Amino acid sequence: MITVILISFGACIATFLGGLFAIRFKDKLHLILGFSAGALIGAAFFDLLPESIGVGSKLYSISTMFAWVAVGIFAYLIIDRILHTHSHQDQGSLGAVSLVIHSLFDGIAIGLASLIPMVLPIVAAAVIAHDFSDGINTVNLVFRNEGRTRSAWWWLVADALAPVVGALTTRLFIIPESIIAIILAILAGFFVYIGLSDLLPESYHGHPTWWTTVATVIGAGVIFVAVKLAGI
């Protein structure tokens, strides 16, 4: 429980730092977003998916586990589209709301990952990296559409507290191993979607450089090495 709280507060701090970074270093955001995209995608394929197959191997086939990954991708797609349906009315606020909900899911991911100690460090690192980029995106969205610093700070606070709330909600129920395997696969789908559909395109927006690509590859590579070292 203490570990989950500490990690969720780490995600909270990362969100704040991301927001501050967005204010201070606007011209370097594409590199951070590219790294975060690689980290999330790497966490999905190098850690979450293998663990979901390992945990559920006695109950489910590999094709079934991949099907659950697809469920995660399309479920997040639907959630994302619903949240942006009326974005033309108030794109800044609704965009910030979507990021707060994303961070809420991040906290839930931390809480669920704590049930499997081997995946917790990797999920924690990926979530913290993602929440750093969430803080960046929250400030950018509000500034771009509303332009008010005070509003940006309010949304940044909400986004920062969301992973703490999400993590604490997972302490309210017990999940059997058969469900954990499915949850890990769905989380892998979430991470793939966020990395490919959200972070990676945003990293290339206005900055289609090779350095952004390098940052993405490094992000995935860091997760790969971390997973391998954790398995030693």
Q: What mean pLDDT, rounded, does the chain reach?
A: 78
Burial class (CB in 10 A: 0-12, 13-18, 19+), 38: buried
Mean pLDDT calculated for residue range 71-92: 70
Residue span of the structural domain in which 111 resides: 2-230
Of 202, 196, 191, 3, whose CA–CA distance to 115 is shortest? Answer: 3
Compute the distance between CA of residue 216 and CA of residue 205 in angstroms, rounded to an integer: 14
pTM of the predicted model over 0.85: no
Q: What's the domain count of the chain?
A: 1
- What's the pLDDT score for residue 2? 73
Angle of helix 149-169 relative to helix 91-113, nearest 10 degrees, comes to 30
Least confident window among 19-28, 81-90, 205-214: 81-90
- What's the pLDDT score for residue 64? 93
What are the residues whose beta carbons fall under 8 Å from the beta carbon of 210, sequence distance 6 or more?
none
What Å distances lie between residue 75 and 56, 78, 80, 166, 232, CA to CA?
Answer: 21, 5, 9, 18, 34
